[in-house]
Structure 1
Amino acid sequence: MKYVQLGKSGLIVSKLAFGAMTFGSGNIPSVYKVGQDHAQELVERALEAGINFFDTADGYADGQSEEILGRLLQARRKEVVIATKAGFRNGPGLVQAGLSRKHLFAACEASLARLNTDYIDLYIVHKTDPFTPLEETLEALNDLVRQGKVRYIGYSNWPAWMAAQAVQMQRERGWASFINGQMYYSLVGRDIEHETIPFMKNNGVGLSVWSPLAGGFLSGKYTRDNLNDPSNRLSGFDFFPHDKEWGFSVLDSVRELAHEHGATPAQISLAWLLAQPQVSSVLVGSSKLSQLEDNLRAVELNLPAEQLATLDRLTRPTPLYPNWFAAMSLDANVAEALK
């Protein structure tokens, strides 16, 4: 396993993190399907492989994921980094959702109880909340850190402008600052390269990646013929907006590289992400031990520069304004002189 400091912090995490979203059972059976015994097998293998970074959320299977993960990591609590998230609805009341001070305090206490721990290593706000002032959210997070219930804080699924505003406010007021952004990023979903990654690079915020295989699309198990089969996961849990026909053309090239390396499409896709300089850690969620074993081998796969460049060229997102104008208007003379 390889390790990295998360953002500008001193928190050392494994380059592969274990995502426990599949733990438990619930209203999305294609996702929530791993019981306690099988979860134990997966977590023990992850620990054996050197993974020290485990991710869950209070919204996964109505908190069952936190409960299962907490029991499994109890004996190794001091050795591991546990991240959990809050923000999605966890009760019928209007105040039982979002990023208000009331809900974050209640959600944190509930997560601590389910995880059976005195503190959360990385507490992540799971979504945006247009109904709560940003200042209120950030002050609440700071207070949770000062109370010792949370060690570090992060955000997930926020636009770059909001994260930038938050970091600036945190610095100005001396509040605990975000060290991590957990964002969707994959070969067929590179939107964060427009604004989010430049912001993170400029502000020392570490990037952890969720759904690096685009919900399993890049695992290679889906084809043009079976994509809509009601028995597969993507048919019932596919909210990724990439064009599927274009995605299959990308997957054809990924399969060719996989054959060349004696690897799998999933390993190639993960290896590409792990080679991106701003990526701190990649979350791999598995419901089967064979999937976990396959994903673990991606750490050992070093793609040559020309193959990384090929994948980059095949999947590079179309530049957005004003980014394309800035690139077009760059002074070539000055750029050449400062090389």
Structure 2
Amino acid sequence: MHYARLGLGGPTLSRLACAVPRPDPACPDAAQQTARGIAQALDAGINLFDATSCMDGMAESLLAKALGKRRAEVLVSSRLGARRNGTHSHPGLSRNDIVWSIEQSLKRLGSDWLDLCVVPHEDPYTPLEETLQALDDMVRSGKVRYLGFANWPAWKAAKALELQQRHGWAPFCFGELHYALNTRSPEREAIPMLQSYGLGLIAKAKPSGLKPSQGHASCPTLTDSPRSNHRLAELLRDIADGHQASATQIALAWLLARDAVSSIVPAFNSTMRHTEALHATTLQLSATELLLLDAASAPTPLLPDWFAPQEQMPAAQGELARSCA
């Protein structure tokens, strides 16, 4: 297992995280299956466990049981709870709700601290200053060690960072973004903002094999047409064949090769298990393969990107054309 620093001031964590799966109510031994998966992840050297799969806290409870006495050996990431009701009296990021949510998470985890606390949404009813000061209090009390945000607009995250610096509050040290080969919109503003402030990036990745037979509707990408989706799917298949891997593993390997990415939390399904994701960490894509994938999945430029001179990759584009001819 390879490891990376989470931004300039964060902890060292495994490049691949373990997402605690949502338990299947129809499965009588769901807790045992989760425990086995967590044990395999620990044996593989994974030290980051994401417990955000269900907002009712079930993932936190399952993770606590599976870790047992090994809790101090790992980093646990969880999110602040969603709004408790739809009224203005309980905004999700008010001081009261932040304290309540963290206390509930710690109770379910059976722990005195939460390693990574993720703020998952915006709250239009609470001043940003109140939210940031409450988070600072949680860090100073020792209940939270590192702060992050999930899928905030770049301007809002930058404003928060400036306020934290101005008031001496505990700063965000990472962003958690939905980012993958077929979801590259964070490259427009969010990732450059993270790099500018020295923050780490945890990618919540749901990579797809992009099978051409499924069509563009069931394989959401930022490419412009079904033909573009077909081209990317064919390219993934060709590269996967050369590495004796699956298309999803190639998509994960591409993500691991991105300089901005500290760690990824893959979204598992019935065909993608921990062992398959672990194999992606050993894949070494060539520079040409990375350029081909970049060119095939590049999002449509928006203003002002399309107005600026675009970097050309004639060699990669030529290879791409020949591979999809």
Shift in alpha-carbon separation, 1:315–1:292, aligned structure 2, 3 A: same
Matches within 5 A, 1:300-339: 300-327=282-309
Partner in structure 1 of residue 127 of structure 2: 133
Matches within 5 A, 1:176-187: 176-187=170-181
Partner in structure 2 of residue 333 of structure 1: none
Q: 1:64 aligns with which of 35, 58, 62?
A: 58
Tell me how far apart the structure 2 counterparts of residues 193 and 258 of structure 1 sit (CA, whole Å): 25
Shift in alpha-carbon separation, 1:56–1:247, aligned structure 2, 3 A: farther
RMSD: 2.6
Tell me how far apart the structure 1 counterparts of residues 36 and 6 of structure 2 sit (CA, whole Å): 27
Number of paired residues?
308
Q: Counterpart amino acid of 2:256?
A: L
Q: Is the 8 A contact 1:95 1:103 kept in 2?
A: no
Q: Is the 8 A contact 1:41 1:289 kept in 2?
A: no
Give secondary structure in 2 for the equivalent of 1:252. helix
Partner in structure 2 of residue 200 of structure 1: 194
Matches within 5 A, 1:26-175: 35-57=30-52, 60=54, 62-90=56-84, 95-96=89-90, 98-175=92-169
Give secondary structure in 2 for the equivalent of 1:192. helix
Measured against aligned partners, the alpha-carbon deviations of 1:17-73 in whole angstroms (never above 9, x if no partner) come to 1112x23247xx9xx99821000111011111110001123x715111111011112
Measured against aligned partners, the alpha-carbon deviations of 1:67-96 in whole angstroms (never above 9, x if no partner) come to 101111232111100010014234576545
Give secondary structure in 2 for the equivalent of 1:118. coil
Give secondary structure in 2 for the equivalent of 1:279. coil
Tell me how far apart the structure 2 counterparts of residues 132 and 112 of structure 1 sit (CA, whole Å): 24
What TM-score, normalized by structure 2, do the two folds share?
A: 0.87
1:317: Cα distance to partner?
A: 1.2
Identity among equivalent positions (%) equals 37
Tell me how far apart the structure 2 counterparts of residues 290 and 275 of structure 1 sit (CA, whole Å): 20
Partner in structure 2 of residue 5 of structure 1: 5
Q: Is the 8 A contact 1:5 1:280 kept in 2?
A: yes
Q: 1:251 aligns with which of 233, 247, 255?
A: 233
Give yes or no for the alignment of 1:14 onto 2:14. yes
Q: 2:242 aligns with which of 260, 264, 268?
A: 260
Q: Which consecutive aligned stretches of 4+ in structure 1 deviate over 6 angstroms post-superposition?
A: none
Q: Is the 8 A contact 1:23 1:65 kept in 2?
A: yes
Q: Structure 1: 5+ residue runs without aligned partners?
A: 229-233, 329-339
Q: Is the 8 A contact 1:267 1:298 kept in 2?
A: yes
Q: Counterpart amino acid of 1:4?
A: A
Q: Counterpart amino acid of 1:24?
A: P
Give secondary structure in 2 for the equivalent of 1:319. coil
Q: Counterpart amino acid of 2:123?
A: D
Tell me how far apart the structure 2 counterparts of residues 41 and 313 of structure 1 sit (CA, whole Å): 39
